[in-house]
A = this chain, B = another copy of it.
Amino acid sequence: MTQPLRVAVIGLGRWANVIAAAARRSSELELVSCFSRREEARAAFAAAHGCAAASSLQEVLDQPGIDALLVTVPNHAHAEVIEQAARAGKHVFVEKPLAASLEDGLRILEAVRSSGIKLMVGHSARMLAGSRRVRRLIQSGELGEVSLVEANFSNDRALELTPDRWRADPDRNPGGPLLQLAVHQFDLIRAWLGPVEAVSAQVGRLHSRVGVPDVATCLLRLASGPFAYVGSSWSSSAAYWARVYGSRANAHLEVDFRYWNRGEEVDAHSRLWVEPNDGDPYPVELEPADMYRDELEELARSVREDRVPEVSVEVGLANLAVVHAALRSAASGREVTVAEVLPEGVGA
């Protein structure tokens, strides 16, 4: 039996509990410690998850018995924590998006490259059982030649935002649902069909009472050829679906968003069906996975095997670049290439 990856959770908001529970479902990780600036939060988290509570980030960084940080601080605080982790030689799992700004994303890229740490970005959507299965349908040729893929991820988060929350602030959360939800689908489409080259987008605020946008629509130009669309509303009933159009069959994936926080249950509440060109639609049975556990295990394995994790810093940065290309497109009314928003030589 290999030694588990010993981890500490940094940033103890709502999502930290989802990630900690996932770590505890895996024998490949051991939850050792946690840290938040709020003392009560770390005491409660330590009690809930049976781990130690550090009194400073430095204490975690100095501890030789910790291999990696699970970073669940707000997006605009990712870069600073990851730079410190990299200097201390700690590996990193970081929630998606990689960062809020491209500048922060580039800082993280530099920190990872110069330190040699492993960094895995939490683009969990590609790890849904249904997503993996669709990828196999595409790669096996069962769908024939793919011409189009569409995806949407929406919920009503903007309707409950108050001005004091970082998610309500367009500076700290540029693009709103584009950065929080659509970025999952950018990664999903990348996992299925490869890199995005350019984006045409519309981004706006319709019904939220705070400054952040609450709806975004994007047309993606993929290097591999197929056309792609991603939509996201932050002011509607929840939706998570994706559809692939192929010359032999279409595939449609629907996920019940009410189970989104429960990686160990969500696959049992997902439906995948195939609509062949020459017959009746049929459902495809999904073998349940556990997206949050699986993404953490991918970090553990990349450390053990000394290889780049599946969702590398480069992939996370490329997905973030699509968000910023979309914002620039929406502001200018023209198609924007991903290369335009990234410095030369950077890109995945």
Contacts and interface: CB of A to CB of B under 8 A. Distances in A.
Given A147-B207, A156-B277, A236 B246 contact: yes
A208 to B, nearest CB: 9
A237 B335 contact: no
A217 interface: yes
A231 B231 contact: no
A247 B334 CA distance: 29
A67 interface: no
Interface in A170-229: 200-202, 204, 206-207, 214-219, 221, 225-229
A93 interface: no
A256 B109 CA distance: 48
Q: Is the interface of A mostly helix, strand, loop or mixed?
A: strand
B148 A215 contact: yes
A239 interface: yes
Given A154-B245, A221-B202, A148 B229 contact: no
Given A159-B247, A245-B237, A334-B335, A206 B225 contact: yes
Contact of A147 (B201, B215, B228): B215
A236 B148 contact: yes
Given A202-B227, A334-B333, A245 B217 contact: no
B233 A148 contact: yes
Q: Which of A201, A217, A248, A275 has the most CB of B within 10 A?
A: A217
Contacts of A235: 145, 147, 247
A96 interface: no
A154 B159 CA distance: 34
A152 interface: yes
Contacts of A74: none
Nearest to A145: B207
A148 B231 contact: yes
A150 interface: yes
Which 5 pairs across A and B sit closest by C-beta, in order of nearness?
Answer: A236-B245, A333-B335, A334-B334, A237-B250, A237-B277
Interface of A: 144-145, 147-148, 150, 152, 154, 156, 159, 200-202, 204, 206-207, 214-219, 221, 225-229, 231, 233, 235-239, 243, 245-250, 275-277, 333-335
